[in-house]
Chains A and B, each alone.
Chain A
Amino acid sequence: MNRFIIAVVMLLIAGIICGCEIFTVTAYSVDYKEDLDTVKRLMEEESYYDAYKLSEKTIESWQKAARHLDKYLYHDYIDDITVKMSALPVYAQNEDTQAVNAQVEEIKKQLTSLKESELPYMHNIL
C-alpha cells in the first residue's frame, strides 16, 4: 500500500510538472508574440527608435524567460530563438522594416511551434 501511495504521488508530480510546462510555454509564447507584433507595428509606423527600444527590452526579458524554458524544452530550440531575437535591435537601428518583419514572422512561427508541440494533440502523440 505504501508503494501504491508513492506511485500515485509520482504520477501527481509528473502531472504537475507537465501542467507547469504547458502553462509556462503557452504563456511565454503568447506574451512574446504580442511584443513581437508591437515591434513589427512600430517599424511599419516608422517609429524606429521605439521599435529598437522595445526589441532590446524584449530580448532582455526573453533571456530571463529562456532560463525557465530550458528546464522543459530542448535548449537548442530556445537558443535558436534567442539568436534570432538578438538580430532585431540591429535591424531596427538600421531602419530595415522588411528584415524585422521577416525575422518577427520566423520567431513567431518558432514560438507557435514550441507551444503546439507540447500540447497533447493526436498528431503530436503519434
Chain B
Amino acid sequence: MTPFEYIRAGSCDEALAAAGAPGSAFIAGGTNLLDLMKHEVMTPARLVDISRLDLAGIAPTDAGTGAGTGAGTGAGLRIGALVPNSELAADPLVRRRWPLLSRALLAGASGQLRNKATTGGNLLQRTRCYYFYDTAMPCNKRQPGSGCAAREGFNRIHAILGASDACIATHPSDMAVALRALSAEVELLAPGGGRRQVPLAGFYRLPGETPQIETVLEPGEMIAAVLLPPPEGDRQIYRKVRDRASYAFALVSVAACLRMEAGRIAAAALAFGGLAPMPWRSAKVEAALIGEAPSPALFDHAADLLLAEARGQGHNDFKIPLARRTLAAVLAEACSEEMPA
C-alpha cells in the first residue's frame, strides 16, 4: 500500500472541494477500494471519506420528479448513494415494488460485505479480472497501454459482448444489473455545485481504446443518489449463475422485469450480468418479446438477438449457450402462470 492523505468530509461541498485535487478518490464502504489499494492496483494519493455525509436515505418520489421514465403510474424511489446494500435489500418498499433489486443485492457478496458496501460504491466496483488484480501482469485498465493479459490468457470469467481488443473484462455488480433492468438513473454532484441526472444506460462506457475510463463521471464528480421510476412490470426475477452456491461473481445473470396481459408479454425489461463490461440491455430483445405469447421458440429468438454479436474468448465460450439457456429459463419462469405477481 502506498501512503495517502485521508480527509473526512463533513459536507458534500467539502467532499467535492477536497476531491478536486488530482489523484483523489472517494471512499465510503471501501469493500473494494481497500483491497485494490493493498494490492496497489489503485494508488490514490488522497482519500476523501464521504461515509458520514447525509446521503443515506431511501424515499419515495413523485412520478413526475423522480427518474420519470416509467410507463406505469405511481411513485418512484430515491436511494441515497450511502445506503448500505443490506439496508436497501431489506427495505420494505423495495421488497414490495422492486423485489428484483432486493434479490440482486442479496445474490451478491456476503452479509458482512453488504453491511458495509454502499449503493454508490456498488455501481463503481472494479472488474474481477485476474490480470487486473495482478500487478505483475500487463493490463490496459490498470496501466493504459501495457496490453491485455486476459485475451491470450485464462479468460473463463470474461466478456462475450461489448469487449474490445484492449479489454475483455466484465463488470461484477449484481445490483447494477437489476438497476439497468429497472431503468434507473444516477444523480451526480459536480465540484462547484453542478447536479445532473444520467440514465444508467449512459453511465457506463464500453472499453474501446480506453478501458481505464469506465463511466461518464467527470473528475471530482460524486454519485449522490440512484433514482428509480415506477417498475414497468410486476414479474421480477434475478437469476444468477455462478461457480458456487454463494459468494462468487456471476458467470451469467439475468434481471427480468415483465408484465403479462391476456397471455401476452406486455412489458419486458431484461438486463444481463457477467457478459459484458457493463450491465447489458438490448432494446431489440425486448422489442421482440413485447406483444408476443411466450413460447420456447420466442425465447430462443430473443436469445439469438441478444447473442448475435457475442464472441467467446476461448475459456468463456460456454457463456454463449449458458446465456441462451438462462434467458430461456428466466423467461419461462417469468411468463408462467405460477409466477406470483
Do A and B bind?
Answer: no
B-to-A contact residues, CB < 8 Å: none
A-to-B contact residues, CB < 8 Å: none
